[in-house]
Amino acid sequence: MATKQELQPFFAKIYSKADNMVDVLVGSYFLFGIFIAFFYDTWIVGIGVGFLCLVLYYGTKYFFKGKTINQYIVSLVLGVFMAQYIYQMHGMFEMHFTAFIAIISLSAYQNKYIYIPLTLFIVIHHSTFAYVQYLGVINDIPSYQQIYFTQLDYMDFQTFLFHAGIVTIGVIISSVYAHNAEKRTITNAGNILQLQAAEKINEANINFANEIDARNFSYEYKVKENDQLGATLMNMRNNLIQSTEREEHEKFINVGVAGVGEILRNFSDDLEKLSYEVVEFLVKYLKFNQGGIFVLNDTDDNDQYLELKGCYAYDRKKFLQKRVDIGDGLVGQTYLEKEVTHLKNIPDDYINITSGLGKATPKTIVIVPIKNNEIIEGVLELASFSDLAEFEIEFLKKIGENIAVAINSAKINTRTKDLYTQSQQQTEELRAQEEEVRQNMEELAATQEQSSRLTLEMESQLNAINNALLSVEINMDQTVHEVNENFTHLTGLSTEAISRRKITDIITNEKDNISLANDLFHQASNGSFSQGEITLQGNNGEKVYLKATFNPINNEQGNVIKILLLAFDISENKSNLSKMTEMTEKVKKSAKETAQKSEAIISEYEKDLKEKNKIIDELEKNIKKLSTKN
């Protein structure tokens, strides 16, 4: 339901047109009074009363501009003009009909109460003057008889009732018409206001959809009440935000794991170098300030401790000799508890981050156990001025397992080298002691057996990755060497059908897609990790979008001997983006339909106003004809 304030502009237009018509009517009534004064010599009444009516009408309009009281003053003024004409024409009955002209004209205001002043004035005037003239006839009072109310000797009660009844019927009909016109105006105005409000909401929804389409997810938008489309867009935006964040987090973890994996492969024979390279990569990748890796030194079963093997701070390598006993401090406690320690309230004397400006206490410290199958190989400690997100902690947990395997392998390789060197020395120095050499060889064999067991464990982890991702081994001539079951299931092709085919023959035959695959392969062939989005044909005939990484596999000499392609399906994210675009088009179509409905309602409203203007024009013509006739 529209409020009075909202309806005010619509009725203001109606009142303005009605005022223009009444201005003409009042002016015509005044001139008509001057005109009939020529025939009955009633100049004082014609000019005096008519002038007072003009002063009352225009004075009220001036002092009460825009107020409803003006309408009631007009009603009273038109009644006074009727009484003036009756007196000027010495009681001519035809002058009573000027009241009906007033009644019809006042209906233009669409105010059913506007007839009250006119009706009261007619009743009071007719009853009073009829009674006075009647007394003049009965009591033979000449002055009473000359009030010129009627040309009869007097108006009897029956005639009075006929007059009153006709006026009452006219007033009732006009009041009903004015009331119905007012209701139509209110209804039409309410429809227009509703359409305008709906149009504003749709326009806001279109803007919101455009912002979503532009991936401006920070755009502030408040859903209006009962705006289902806006609520749907808000839910879609929230889902896209979550999907985007999840994709970014997964990408962050996968890229980080691949980066750490490359370091572990390149420096698997040097524990010191491996430790430093891993810490350097993690500090830079996580945008931390400093970090260190403490590796378990278990060379002496009676004196095991954590030894700082690699540390990094502000791009300066620290060659520090530091020992942490198991259970001592946060690092030692984390080793025992085997759980991540995440500190936000750091004691002032725990650690300092040093820069050219001095020393400061970090805001966050995270200590991650480097473990695999509950076997701890060491502890990773990182410090920063900024906080750490949950997905970053998950990333550290994940790479902790890989680092543990690498450290274990490095330690085994180091021990193997040491034993081999010792064996060579003993062979040269103690060739005669064959029994001792044989024992050393047995110990070496045992060590190699342990190495094989750990290698099998690493292969198990690789199998786990193989089960989670699409995996393709590619020869250096771009032919497929081997694929996993995930890839054959997605494409619907058998291993035999894929084997020895070029990777560019398996993906979708699109120029950009093939060009991208070639570029990624060549980057990996040159020893660089590369990634991108490629597409292939699924087993159901639909296009599948993959987030693919091309990883170079090196031999012992560091040469790339094959490429390992790891990928995961991102078709669902692409589908969500397509649905968002489709929803945007629906919003635009809905806005267009709403605009068409608004034009239809406004056209109907203008047509109604034109019909009312025709009625007003006919009234003005009748008034002019009456003025001409008299």
Domain with residue 300: its CATH number is 3.30.450.40
Residues 377 and 482 in one domain: no
Q: Is residue 382 part of a domain?
A: yes
Choose among 516, 458, 32: nearest CA to 264. 458
Q: Which of 420, 436, 456 is the last residue of a domain?
A: 420
Instruction: Tell me how crowded residue 426 is: count the other CB atoms within 10 A of its CB.
Output: 14
- Candidate from 49-58, 327-336, 558-567, 587-596 with smallest mean pLDDT: 587-596
565 and 603 co-located in one domain: no
> Higher confidence at residue 58 or residue 578?
58
Q: How confident is the model at residue 589 (pLDDT cuts 50, 70, 90)?
A: confident
CA angle (369, 373, 376) in 5-degree steps = 35
Condensed to tens digits (0 to 9), the pLDDT of residues 22-65 reads 889 999 989 998 998 888 888 988 899 999 999 998 999 889 88
Q: Across the strands, what pairs with 473?
A: 482, 564
- Do 538 and 615 belong together in one domain? no
Residues 397, 431 contacting (CB under 8 angstroms) = no
Identity at 374, one-letter amino acid code: E
For residues 178 and 290, give the distance between their C-alpha atoms in angstroms, rounded to a whole number: 85
Q: What is the average pLDDT value for the chain, to the nearest integer? A: 78
C-alpha closest to that of 219 among 229, 231, 210: 210
Number of separate domains in the chain: 3
- Tokens 């033979």 locate to 140
Q: According to the model, what pLDDT value does residue 53 have?
A: 92
Q: What is the pLDDT of residue 192?
A: 81
The residue from 385, 404, 420 where one domain ends is: 420
Regarding whether 145 and 267 lie in a shared domain, the answer is no
Q: pLDDT band at 388, cuts 50/70/90?
A: confident
* pLDDT at 79 (0 to 100): 86
Q: Which span out of 217-226, 472-481, 484-493 was modeled with the highest average pLDDT? A: 472-481
Neighbours of 476 (CB within 10 A): 13
Q: Is residue 431 part of a domain?
A: no
Query: Are residue 412 and residue 511 in the same domain, yes or no?
Result: no
Residue 423 has pLDDT above 60, yes or no: yes
Task: Please report whether residue 482 resides in a domain.
Answer: yes
Question: CATH no. for residue 485?
Answer: 3.30.450.20
Check pLDDT > 60 for residue 210: yes
Are 474 and 415 in the same domain?
Answer: no
Instruction: Say what the pLDDT of residue 402 is.
Output: 84
Rounded to an integer, what distance in angstroms lies between the CA atom of residue 565 and that of residue 166? 99
* 192 & 260 share domain: no
Q: Is residue 450 part of a domain?
A: no
**∠548-552-557 over CA atoms, to 5°?**
175
Does residue 297 or residue 605 have the better pLDDT? 297
Cβ-contact 61, 70 below 8 angstroms: yes
Check pLDDT > 80 for residue 109.
yes
547 and 404 assigned to the same domain: no
What is the C-alpha separation between 315 and 341, in angstroms, rounded? 25
- Mark whether 264 and 162 lie in a shared domain: no
Could you read off the pLDDT of 222-281 as tens digits, one per residue?
A: 776 666 676 787 777 777 777 777 777 878 888 888 888 888 888 877 888 888 888 888
Nearest to 155 by CA among 205, 202, 86: 86
Q: Is 427 exposed, middle or buried (0-12, 13-18, 19+ CB in 10 A)?
A: middle
Q: Give the per-residue pLDDT at 51.
A: 93
Convert the pLDDT of each residue in 119-162 to its tens digit.
Answer: 888 888 777 877 777 777 778 787 776 676 666 666 677 777 77
Percent of the chain at pLDDT exceeding 90: 3
Element (H, E) at 364: strand 364-372
Q: Which of 85-89, 282-286, 577-581 has the highest mean pLDDT?
A: 282-286
Tell me, yes or no, whether 303 lies in a domain. Answer: yes
Instruction: Identify whether residues 278 and 155 lie together within a single domain.
Output: no
- Judgement on whether residues 383 and 504 belong to the same structural domain of the protein: no
pLDDT per residue as tens digits for the range 331-373 = 888 888 888 888 876 665 555 544 333 355 677 888 888 888 8
Distance of CA 623 to the CA centre of its chain: 61
Looking at mean pLDDT, say which of 201-210, 357-366, 402-411 comes out highest. 402-411
Domain end residue (candidates: 420, 451, 483): 420
- In this prediction, residue 315 has a pLDDT band, given cuts at 50, 70 and 90, of very low
Supply the DSSP symbol for 418.
H
Q: In the predicted model, is pLDDT for residue 443 greater than 80?
A: no
Confidence tier at 441 by pLDDT (50, 70, 90): confident
Instruction: Answer whether residue 152 is part of any domain.
Output: yes
Handedness of CA 415, 416, 418, 422 (dihedral sign): positive
The answer on 406 and 307 residing in a single domain is: yes
CA gap 583, 88 in Å, rounded: 76
**Is 438 a member of any domain?**
no
Report d(CA 546, CA 551) in Å as an integer.
Answer: 15
Distance CA 385, CA 287 (A): 10
What are the tens digits of pLDDT across the range 503-532? Answer: 777 776 777 778 888 888 888 888 888 888
The secondary structure of 240-270 as a DSSP string is HHHHHHHHHHHHHHHHHHHHHHHHHHHTTT-
The amino acid at 558: G
- Report the pLDDT value the prediction gives residue 150, as an integer from 0 to 100: 67
pTM recorded for the entire structure = 0.40
- The residue assigned the tokens 């000019």 is 47
Residues spanned by the domain of 269 = 248-420
pLDDT band at residue 455 under the 50/70/90 scheme:
low
**Per-residue b or e along 518-556, where b marks 16 or more CB atoms closer than 10 Å to that residue's CB:** eebbebbbeeebbbeebbbbeeeeeebbbbbbbbbeeee
Tell me whether residue 460 is in a domain.
no
